[in-house]
Structure 1
């Protein structure tokens, strides 16, 4: 099974919204847009153990925290999931609740435009819905999942009822298990997931293994009961005897040879669930310790390993797996391996991430861009590359694309030198107390190297599709752009052509000789200094200094010398005006209007000053 469509109403920060998924999906969007909300909504409607939580929803799960009756109506949380790619077994099991799906219209076939001309057109799908609300009579919150189709039709002989899901059939826990939904949250302490409590990962494994090997808890209880702590060679034996001798003065004990004993458990399933612990020994040590004593990274991998175990027990490609930020405390190679394994073995993997090492594992058509407006309307769109944009261009710059996907805005530059120089200019602007400027790292702006002035316009429509402000800057092109390339510049939020033949011309012409001299002195002792260019000498005139700086920059093009030059600037006044003014304009564009709600708040791309991403 796969989730094809998810519809949310009145859930957390989403008043209403629809998310379309295409198989394995990467959810991207700004902080607080609702990526975690989507994952939590999936668990509400599909998670077999979610209903064990009491209450299943609370005040803040309702949009605007409005859950009380208004004008005679009680607000309801509704989360509907449409499941496609049903197996023959699922079609048989849910036969009375499935309906046809039109992929062309992304809607049920009978509701699609023009209706269902062919009743057998489209694949079978299973719509299910979670409904949650507050009950004033019970002063508590309630929620349950139901088959969304069909709804019973009331008649004159049937009394209308306000009972939750009164016209729908319950979608029970066993039905949910058939869907195989697993959820890996970002806060993976393992405090519950790795215990044997009901609904935990290990409890799920025990249940699945018991289906094949027979009752496991009964065997465990018998084994624990057989443990003799107070055997004759134990120090507990004397304590047991003394307790028995004294108790017999007041109680009539059984005639058993050991009416008083010491056991390691109360010998109930529930107590065993509480006290059983997984012990792990990791290298370089040899001593096993309780799982909760492991490092954060080890815990993350342990949780993921158990999820893989569950997936294998259920059968490859039969699990819908949602995971948030799989990169937490993991090195890049482990992040890639984890995602690749999930995509290969899960029926559907739904991921949120802030790591380029994770994001680069997804093709553009599997990236789902989420957006939410101030009225709580959530929308989704997939990344569609322009027809003339070759897939190999994407793959050749996949790491850069991954960073751009995470960014709030993208500045496309023509080469590696510009990609080094622009952040260095931003550093100086930020350090100048006379300039009101938010650094790109804080504003969520990334620089993208197009590798050529003629390539800069090609990326404008690519990033515009992602719903991001996109800026372009380059020097005079060697050859005039074709009409097609020139037309793409209209997709830039702001676009600037610098009247120079190259970045070296710009730097050596717009920077003062004093700055160039400081630069030449500072790099003269570097082991990679291009000695064939000569060195700074006393008495050099301005033209000679500019020529030497140009030769040095050209001789070490791509080696970071441009950024080293900018680093010698001490204020906005010393910076090259073309780059500085462009970055200041980008900053002004991204600032919220002064009369907008929250204006003046932090624009930290990492989420400082934002609501939690899950809301």
Structure 2
């Protein structure tokens, strides 16, 4: 059995959504956009008791102006045993696999606005009868929230995942042998002189405190485990380091977190769908990648909420659900991006996460352009972070067409803008499906001839050349030889722009040198920079007004 899709409508925070679950689901987004709310609602739908439903939902979960909050899931892939638990609830369509719909509705009862009515039922069953406890167990949902503890008691206490695993172990014929050993241990405790004296001492004190007499035989010091039934009751797990054994309480936070995830994972023998909120807590990036790989390769279906690019990177783009800053959900169509294409795109890397969760992605051709754009925004007093803009350096303008497959209209359909050199204008316009003269209206601006030429024209060739020479980034003789000018005073803006842009190794050092020099006056003299940042600022101000 697997979760095939779900819908959420009428939620106070989340925009209405309809989500496909393709094997696994990785939910990403900025803080406070509702990622955890999605898992919480699915947990209430698929795993919670009636008491937990009323503890976990309130009137405030219903969107203002809406009568009802609805969470509905579709499950398919049932085997015969699983389907047998839902004889009148399954949806049967001729020529198609059977599937199951389960629905949760939260509303205020008519005439009683201070209370809530919660119904959870199978819509195609013909009744609104709640699922039984056995039916919920058969769904096989398991949820590990982000507020989990990494304390030792959580990992091996009475209700811990480790205890679940241990209790499922069948000891077979060894059960009687272990019970016998425990009996021998308890006999030794009973005969030990020091413990006998301790029992006498306790008995004497009790006899003075309680209106009855006690002696050493009235008390027993022994293991709490029942030798006949539960010989493993007090058993726990240790890590062996050389000749020493170290308990869980002695491990680091990160190690305890890894073990908590391991225990939780292994304990889900009967689970079909395993949801984990922020598996990366306390983990080093290398451990995050390891855990994410185990999740992505798991036969069980995984639902993960994460802020970690290292976790996202281990899954396919078709598995990713983006919750944007306006709490809308975005998914790439699985037909538009295959696993093979993902391997071909080197940029499917940790830096992508920031762009996927931003309000707008701003594309530039390379790192030098990014340095200049970010410095220009700062010089104009524009906070790109506050505006929700993520600047993405493509490391080559030709990669724009590949990236667009994922973030463009046929992918996650994110709001985009950008800046490219003049020689890429026609190519980028074609990729965007625009005529070149419509580029600026869509948020894409062109540096003539390129950004190096533009900032040299804006600042002045002599000023830029002097800065390069004084910083040791270029020699005067080298500039003169490259440009053919007789002296620095004769070097034109176009010549110095070509000097900087014609050799890739010059671009980034020059951008780092020029960035602190940029002023509002310089930027006003750069059509592409002032246009792009004006577009960004207008969009930010419009959201502030809203």
TM-score interval (norm. to shorter): 0.7 to 0.9
Corresponding position of 2:284:
331
- In structure 2, list runs of 5 or more residues that go unmatched: none
CA shift, 1:150, in A, is 1.0
Map of 1:584-603 to 2, 5 A cutoff?
584-593=533-542, 596-597=545-546
Q: Find the aligned partners of 1:212 and 1:130 in 2 and give their Cα distance.
A: 43
Secondary structure, in 3 states, of the residue corresponding to 2:286?
A: helix
Q: For 1:566, which of 491, 494, 514 is the aligned residue?
A: 514
Aligned to 1:158: none
Q: Secondary structure at the match of 1:407?
A: coil
User: 312, 315, 330: which is aligned to 1:359?
Assistant: 312
1:298-327 CA-partner distances (Å, limit 9, x unpaired): 23211221133124x34xxx6312223333
Structure having the larger proportion of residues in helix: 2
Alpha-carbon displacement from aligned partner over 1:562-586 (angstroms, at most 9, x marks no partner):
3323234153334572454144224
- Do residues 40 (structure 1) and 43 (structure 2) align? no
Partner of 1:464: 408
Contact 2:296 2:315 in 1 (8 A): no
Contact 1:43 1:183 in 2 (8 A): yes
Q: Say which of 92, 100, 108 aligns to 1:126.
A: 100
The question of 1:226 aligning with 2:172 is answered no
Q: CA 1:475–1:58 in structure 2 vs 1: closer, same or farther (change >3 Å)?
A: closer
**CA displacement 1:314-351 (0-9 Å, x = unmatched):** 4xxx6312223333333333222222211222331122
Whether contact under 8 Å (1:30, 1:408) holds in the other structure is no
In structure 1, the partner of 2:85 is 93
**Aligned counterparts, 1:523-562, within 5 A:** 523-524=471-472, 533=478, 540-541=488-489, 543=491, 547=495, 551=499, 554-557=502-505, 560-562=508-510
Is the CA contact 1:27–1:351 (under 8 Å) kept in the aligned structure 2?
Answer: yes
Q: 1:240 to 1:10 in 2, by over 3 A?
A: farther
CA distance in 1, matches of 2:314, 2:332: 16
Rate the CA distance shift 1:25–1:540 in 2: closer, same or farther, 3 A. same
Give the 3 Å change call, closer, same or farther, for CA 76–573 of structure 1 in structure 2: closer
Q: Which one of 61, 65, 73 corresponds to residue 81 of structure 1?
A: 73
- TM-score scaled by length of structure 2: 0.77
Work out which of the residue numbers 293, 299, 310 in structure 2 matches 1:340: 293
- Tell me what 1:397 maps to: 347
Distance 1:531 1:88 in 2: 81
Report the alpha carbon displacement of residue 523 of structure 1 after superposing the two structures with TM.
3.5
Deviations 1:405-445 (A, max 9, x none): 2332111223343234333434x42xxxxx44113487242
1:150 matched to which residue of 2?
125
Deviations 1:355-402 (CA, angstroms, capped at 9, x unpaired): 33222333333333446969xxx6554346769999268623212544
Give the structure, 1 or 2, with the largest relative contact order (CA under 8 Å, sep 6 or more): 1
1:164-183 equivalences under 5 Å are: 167-172=128-133, 174-183=134-143
Structure 2 distance, partners of 1:284, 1:545, is: 69
Q: Distance in 2 between matches of 1:457 and 1:42?
A: 36
Any idea what the Cα deviations from partners look like across 1:110-168, whole Å, max 9, x if unmatched? xxxxxxxxx4222111222345678999x99886754444133xxxxxxxxxxxxxx41
- In 2: Cα distance, 1:43 partner to 1:308 partner: 17
Q: Distance in 1 between matches of 2:138 and 2:461?
A: 73
Q: Contact (CA 8 Å) 2:325, 2:358: kept in 1 or not?
A: no
Distance 1:97 1:440, change over 3 A: same
Q: How does 1:264-275 map to 2 (within 5 A)?
A: none
* Structure 1 residue 84: Cα displacement: 0.9
CA distance in structure 2 between the partners assigned to 1:497 and 1:439 by the alignment: 20
Give the 3 Å change call, closer, same or farther, for CA 548–296 of structure 1 in structure 2: same
Determine if the alignment matches structure 1 residue 301 to structure 2 residue 297: no
Listed one character per residue, the Cα deviations across residues 455-499 of structure 1 (whole Å, up to 9, x for unaligned) are: 646755742332322013212217955985472466883121222
1:389 and 1:244 mapped to 2: Cα distance?
72
Secondary structure of the equivalent of 2:84? helix
Are the equivalent residues in 2 in contact too, given 1:535–1:548 (CA < 8 A)? no
Partner of residue 449, structure 1: 394
Instruction: Give structure 1 stretches of 5+ with no counterpart.
Output: 101-118, 153-166, 430-434, 598-615
RMSD over equivalenced CA pairs, Å: 4.9
* 1:572–1:201 Cα change, 3 Å: farther
